[in-house]
Structure formats: structure tokens, C-alpha cells
Structure 1
């Protein structure tokens, strides 16, 4: 049988090196995008949301990474203080642009996107915990060869790591539903949304673990994408506890990124999304059972909540 390395080569994937081990416990590293948000939400103030997430991480002794979209708050004194609190607590700080533009937009040039990164860097490089890690907005890495290759060259030139995600979630979609429900009724019963959220995280975790085993022949350290939002301010404690109950080890993002899988560069016309999904598409892996649930943006959970009247 062809080795995974040969498969990668035959499908044009750049590979620094491959390391496969048979026996290792499944692990996950927590990362959060779009923070720190200073926007108003029901139930909790911006400061309370930020602190609730930090408290949940501290309770479980988890060190995470916050990928900052500076215009969401860090350009303001209060938001900068929220971000600094993450660095002071020992969490890593990464770059997620100034204003979260879409690299795939025809109205956005490669130069403009790169300037967004440099502008954000000028703010976050002064924070404790700062790392030269960049996460693409919307996990979109360029819809043309010029943008794709231009960004790969830019990141290399400036010493940035592509802060890949392997375990993608649609927490943002369920957060939108949570906010919608609370806006209509501040005293609404939130237990159905909480159950749907935890079920969603479990489903994605199991599916991406299975995909890593299919593609790599092993459990890779998963890097989960969540967001700096209300749903995690309320239930991040439960999310972390659920992973522990599932028997998963929680590791730091730096430890996860050290795995060779995060040095892969899928060769696709429009790379992006979960690294595992991008690898599967690069390798021509046929759609498998559960594929739709990995790319449906939480549609199944939202429809189930509608049936319950939410």
C-alpha cells in the first residue's frame, strides 16, 4: 500500500516531515478568534464575558490562544485591557487582522489584506503572550493563485506561523441563536441551546478525530476553533469539562502546533477551512458519512432548536 507520505506527494502537498505514532491519547488545544469583543450582548457586559472565559480556563488550568481582531476592541483602552488580561494569564496572543475582511472578496486586494495584518501586529505585539501566529479570517487562504501564493510568501517573509485549525466548529451560529432568543425574551430557558451547543462540539470532535485517523493513521493533537463570544462566556466551563469526560487531554496551542501535521501545506486552488478538510480535498478523498455535518455551519442544531420553538 502507498504510504501517506507518497499520497501527499502524489497530490502535490508540501511536506516537511511526517511522524506517525500508534499509541497516544487524543488531545485538544483551545483557541479563540475575534477577541476581545467589546460589543454589547444580553446578560453579560463585555468585561463580564471576558472574565468569565478567563475564569473557566483558569478553573481547568487550560492555557489557550486568543486571536485578536483589533477593531473589535483592542484599539480601545478597555478592549486592550481585556486582551492584556489574556496575556497576563499565560495565554498566547495571535493576529486575526484589524477588521476581519474576507480575502476571497474581489473588492479586497492582497496588499490591503496584508496591511490589515501589519496594522493589527503593531497593536498586539505590545501585549504579553504575543506570538507570530496568524489565523486567516473565515479560514480562507486565498481564492486565486496570486492571493494564495502571495500570502504564503508574506507569512514566510514576516516570520508568521499559519495558525491552522483542525477541529472547526460553528459556535458562532449557535451564539447568534442564543443572542436572538435572549433579545426576544431575557428570561428564556436556555437549557435547549446549551444542550445543542455541547452536542455540536462533541459531534465535531468525534468526526474530526475520525478524519485524522483516516488521513494520518493516528490521533493528531486537535486545535479547536471557538470565538470570544457570549456562548463561551456562559458555557466554556462545560465545554472543557465535556472534553475531559470524553477522555481527551488538553494541551497548549504551542504544543499542538509542534506536531508535524501543522507543517503541511495542502495544494488546492482555494485552500482553507479545517486543515483536515483541506487535506482530504487535496487528496481526493470521497465524501464520507458525516461529511455534511462538518460543513453545514450548525444547520442541524439550528433546525432542531426551531422544532423546539426557538
Structure 2
């Protein structure tokens, strides 16, 4: 089953709350709970998106995982067979802020043959910065933008996140201990954190612009994300969101400098835009649960 065609979501009114879901760390993210496989996790995510009739969602690839976990490699073909696109998350999930620019550039280009293999003539030239790190100095930031512009990249920005990745490790521990009560607490916390992140991002957008921008949601292909995705998608719909593609979301003015890297860098997040305007941040979302201690 393929995803709905892009034309079928083009009729979403411009005034509707719009959300593009994106997935990081393909083909493998986080610890693998007992009884799970990477392919099964990816299939759960794909099935949930298909059943919710989402438009195609980008998955951002770290090619090194095909070496670290060879059994995860089929996830990439599974993703493509479902009509879903792939983008670049660097080969080894390298942090630009803490590594030399030349090393980071090599990590970007090392991922490209794999993307060409799976994407063919389709557009894989979207980059998601690992750790959302875009360079710790103005000089490095300008240099990496020139490098990416020269290779035809666009930036997959993030304007909504609830740190979903934090839940996958405690989930694996709780599965190992067969602690269903703790898993239920994780589920409650996960949905509450997602709901709080909606309020957080919308509050900043409205403070900055007086209205909602289309948001880009950061997710990870972890086992707990796969478990929770049907309920998470239902939550977003209950909160009035329509799902759109990354391309549609980033056609909004906020993302202009992410699409044209010949332009100077601009605030790379809603938080940075708030800081540039001297506006106070709303209260940040919190899990409301000590995830690090759960099921220890």
C-alpha cells in the first residue's frame, strides 16, 4: 500500500494547523526490546501512517547503522517500497558543533551513495542536522551552508519536538522486566509530553507571527514510538492538525533560509527566533516522569 499522492493533501486550507512528520535515525534507533526486530518496528510505523492516511514522510538515514546492525538494512527498502522518501542525517550521526568541518562534510558525502541507491531520481537532498547542531561559530555555519548549497541540499528544520527519543531506552528496560504498570506510565507521559509540545510550539509561533506556521515534527524510529504512533496521530488530529509533507510545510516564509542556503543563516528554531526578538520563552515541556530511573 502506497501513501496518498501529494495532490490529495494540497487542498488543505492555508489557515489550518499543519504538521509535517519526519523520522530520524533510519534504519535503527535506540535499544531493541526483547522480541522486536528493526524491520518489525519500521513496519509498525509505516502501517500506522498508512492507516491514518498521512502524506509521505521523510526518513533521515545514518548509513553506519547498516554496518552496526546489518539486520536493520532492509528497513530502508521497506520504507521506499511504501512510497516514503529518504534524506541525509550524515553517515555516523556526527555533531557539527563538536567536530571539524572537513570531517563533518565527509560524513555527509559518505551517506550519499546509499541515498542514491534507494532513492534513484527522487529527491534525497534534504539534510537533518544530527543533534540539530548547525555549527558552533558563525564562520563554521557559513562554511557548511556553502558546502551544502553546492551539493543542492535543503535543510529539514524542526519546529516541534517532545524528545520522543527519551522513551525508547526505558521502554526496552521495562519490557525486559515485564513491568506493564511502568509501561502504562510511559504511555501516559509520552502523550502528555506531545500535547505540551503542541502548546509550546504554538505559543511561540503566535508570539512571533500572530498565527500558526506549518510545523515540522521530529520523531525517531524507535520501538516505543512505533507502539505509540496510532495514539499519537489521533492526538494531533484531536488538536486540529492536518498532516502535510515536509516540502509543503517548508514552503512557509519561516523556512525560507532552509530552502535557499545561498542566503545568510537565520534563527534555526522558534526558540532562536524568540531570542532574536527578545521575547520570553513559554514553559518548556517536561516528561513529568524520571525516565532515567524507570525500570532500573
TM-score normalized by structure 1? Answer: 0.81
Aligned equivalents of 2:144 and 2:14: distance in 1?
A: 36
Gaps of 5+ in 1: 1-21
1:54 is matched with which residue: 24, 46, 52? 46
Give the structure 2 partner of residue 301 of structure 1: 288
Tell me, in whole angstroms, the C-alpha distance in 2 between the residues paired with 1:71 and 1:277: 31
Q: 1:146 deviation in Å?
A: 2.5
Deviation at 1:131, TM superposition (A): 2.0
C-alpha distance in 1, partners of 2:194/2:150?
Answer: 36
Name the SS of the counterpart of 2:86 in structure 1.
strand
Deviation at 1:130, TM superposition (A): 4.3
CA distance in 2, matches of 1:40, 1:131: 27
- Residues 208-247 of structure 1 mapped to structure 2, 5 A cutoff: 208-247=201-240
| Aligned pairs for 1:110-259 within 5 A | 110-128=101-119, 129-183=122-176, 185-189=177-181, 190-259=183-252
Contact 2:62 2:88 (8 Å CA) reproduced:
yes
**How has the CA–CA distance of structure 1 residues 280 and 267 changed in structure 2, closer, same or farther, with 3 Å as cutoff?**
farther
Corresponding residue for 1:278? 272
1:82 aligns with 2:90: no
Secondary structure of the residue aligned to 1:54 is helix
Distance 1:244 1:153, change over 3 A: same
Q: Which runs of 5+ in 2 are unaligned?
A: 1-12, 259-263
Match of 2:9 in 1: none
Q: 1:102 touches 1:138 (CA, 8 Å); kept in 2?
A: yes
How far does the alpha carbon of each residue in 1:202-237 deviate from its partner, in whole angstroms, 9 at most, with x for none? 110121012111112221111000101111111111
Give, in angstroms, the shift of residue 88 of structure 1.
2.1
Residues 169-210 of structure 1, C-alpha deviation per residue, up to 9 Å, x if partnerless?
211112222223223x13533211111101111110121012
Q: 1:57 to 1:102 in 2, by over 3 A?
A: same
Q: CA deviation at 1:80?
A: 3.5
SS in 2 for 1:209: helix
Is 1:34–2:25 an aligned residue pair?
A: yes
Deviates more, 1:128-137 or 1:156-165: 128-137
Which SS does the other structure have where 1:30 is aligned?
strand
Query: 1: CA distance between counterparts of 2:282 and 2:203?
Result: 11
Moved more, 34-43 or 69-78: 69-78
In 1, Cα distance between equivalents of 2:100 and 2:136:
12
2:8 equivalent in structure 1: none
- How far, CA to CA, are the matches of 2:70 and 2:169 in structure 1? 26
Question: What is residue 8 of structure 1 aligned with on the other side?
Answer: none
CA RMSD of aligned residues (A): 2.5
Superposed displacement of residue 284, structure 1 = 2.5
**Is the 1:124–1:130 Cα contact (8 Å) retained in structure 2?**
no
In structure 2, C-alpha distance between the alignment counterparts of 1:23 and 1:100, rounded to whole Å: 34
